[in-house]
Amino acid sequence: MKRIVTETVLSVILYTLIAVAISSVYLPFADLAETLRENPDGFEITINLIPWIILVLFGTLHMIYSFKARNKNKSFFTWAFKSMTEYAEGDEREANITNKATRSAYTTYGITIPIFMIFLLFYPLLSSTFPTYPIYLLAAIINISTIVYGVTWVREYRK
């Protein structure tokens, strides 16, 4: 159970860092598009690498933790390509709990995405002060679903 809580927290931090890193290049890319429109022959772009360095460092540590903490009966291929780090399938009960938690997370997508589509209507009002608003909305959707997954998993595990 401790592993699932840790993985859930790490995933939420990772998704947030991804949103911060992508947001950090949004304005430079917008400037680049403007420059290319005005002067198609040459361009210049300045990107803040600090969010990307933090993301790579955190992502590497997360990967090492997840690999070490994985179920030992899970092959490297399955761990790397066919599974999420939050999944726990050590025995049939854990697989059952993972199924229920995944179902809750999926249901959460069905609720949050339409609501967040409505939030996108406010983008024209916020675009000048908060241009990366849609990126953070997407991060919020996946973070909410990840938290729902973790909470459901812990609740079911304690039954």
The H helix count followed by the E strand count for the chain is 6, 0
Can residue 159 be called a binding residue for another protein (CB under 8 A)?
yes
CB of 1 to another protein, least distance (A): 8
CB of 57 to another protein, least distance (A): 33
Q: Cα dihedral angle (20, 21, 24, 25), rounded to 10 degrees?
A: -140
CB of 157 to another protein, least distance (A): 7
Site string for another protein, 48-87 (x = CB under 8 A): ----------------------------------------
Among 50, 90, 107, 120, binds another protein (CB under 8 A): 90
Q: List, as one string, the DSSP characters of 18-54.
A: HHHHHHHHHHHHHHHHHHHHH-TT--------HHHHH
Can residue 41 be called a binding residue for another protein (CB under 8 A)?
no
Q: For helices 2-38 and 133-157, what crossing angle results, to 10°?
A: 170
Query: Under rule CB under 8 A, how many of the chain's residues touch another protein?
Result: 8
Structure tokens at 99: 């199924």
Q: For helices 92-120 and 133-157, what crossing angle results, to 10°?
A: 150
CB of 92 to another protein, least distance (A): 5
Among 91, 106, 117, 123, binds another protein (CB under 8 A): 91
CB of 51 to another protein, least distance (A): 39
Q: Can you tell me the distance from the alpha carbon of 45 to that of 158, in angstroms, rounded to the nearest whole number?
A: 52
Give the number of other Cβ atoms within 10 Å of residue 4's Cβ.
22
34 vs 91 by CB, closer to another protein: 91
- Rule CB under 8 A: which residues touch another protein? 90-94, 96, 157, 159
